[in-house]
Amino acid sequence: MSNDRRDFLKKSALLGLVGLGKNLLGEEKLSHLETVSNKIAGTDNAFTLPKLPYAYNALEPFIDAKTMEIHYTKHHQAYVNKLNETPSTNIDYLSSDDVKCSHIDKTTSAVMRNNLGGHFNHSLFWTLLKPNPESKANLPEGKIAKAIEAEFKSFDDLKKEFSEKALKIFGSGWCWLIKTNEGKLKIITTPNQDNPLMNLENEKGKPVLALDVWEHAYYLKYQNKRVDYITGWWNIVNWNKVEELYSQ
């Protein structure tokens, strides 16, 4: 069969898939199927940079505008671009990003593991931050506050343990508060762009709080003083989002 004929059949099959999506699944599903079919056909991007929920300077004085702009438009965008350049037969493009992450294991290629992790982790990280320009007290409330007290005795104890673990990460990585399968809260760390959803050696669980401790997240403002970045970050944790993730 000629290459032209093969391409024609492939595109026809994909158009049929999109048509089926419209009839059976409705408009929303259609648009997702179109994205997937475009991805497979190499004409569009399956992964996109999510909209940042605030301006680059909104997190000052704790995270500066330049760091946010570079972190979002260069680093996060690079993970998205690399994912779109790397078609994988092992990834279910129709599944949500957290389900995709749960399919990552030691046999997954490094390029997929690193870039899918990078994309998922940053997408979550942006939602877990909120502006606090007047440096008001920023404390958890509701169910998550009670769960923290039950597991760590007090919020200050959680802060202490989390900050110490984040500070001790050697090189690049992430510190997480996870909800385990037993419903308990636990603090873990992962190297590079790994996360607690992946089938790797770290403890698994649902991430409810995340801190990026790669140097690109803080070096412009804090240089080598990671401890100051962590101390500042507690002021801009979006506890409403943490509560939402914990309660789901």
Binding to Fe ion, residues 216-245 (CB under 5 A) = 217
**Closer residue to Fe ion, CB minimum distance, 3 or 224:** 224
The span of 80-88, 89-97, 161-169, 210-218 binding Fe ion (CB under 5 A) equals: 210-218
Is-contact 203 97, C-beta < 8 A?
no
Residue from 56, 152, 162, 214 binding Fe ion (CB under 5 A): 214
- Of 36 and 236, nearer to Fe ion (C-beta) is 236
Between 194 and 212, CB nearer to Fe ion: 212
Binding map of Fe ion across residues 153-192, x = CB under 5 A, - = no contact: ----------------------------------------
Question: For residues 21 and 118, which CB has a smaller minimum distance to Fe ion in the complex?
Answer: 118
Q: Of 150, 130, 127, which is closest to residue 244 (Cα–Cα)? A: 127
Measured from each CB, the residue nearest to Fe ion is 212
Of residues 11 and 130, the one with the C-beta less far from Fe ion: 130
**Under rule CB under 5 A, residue 194 binds Fe ion:** no
Question: From the CB of 156, what's the least distance to Fe ion, in Å?
Answer: 27
Q: How far is the CB of 164 from Fe ion (least distance, A)?
A: 21
Q: How far is the CB of 115 from Fe ion (least distance, A)?
A: 12
Q: Count CA within 13 A, CB hemisphere, residue 56.
A: 10
Q: State which of positions 87-146 bind Fe ion (CB under 5 A).
A: none
Q: Among 212, 213, 238, 246, which residue interacts with Fe ion (rule: CB under 5 A)? A: 212
For Fe ion, the closer CB: 121 or 235: 121
Q: Which residues bind Fe ion (CB under 5 A)?
A: 212, 214, 217
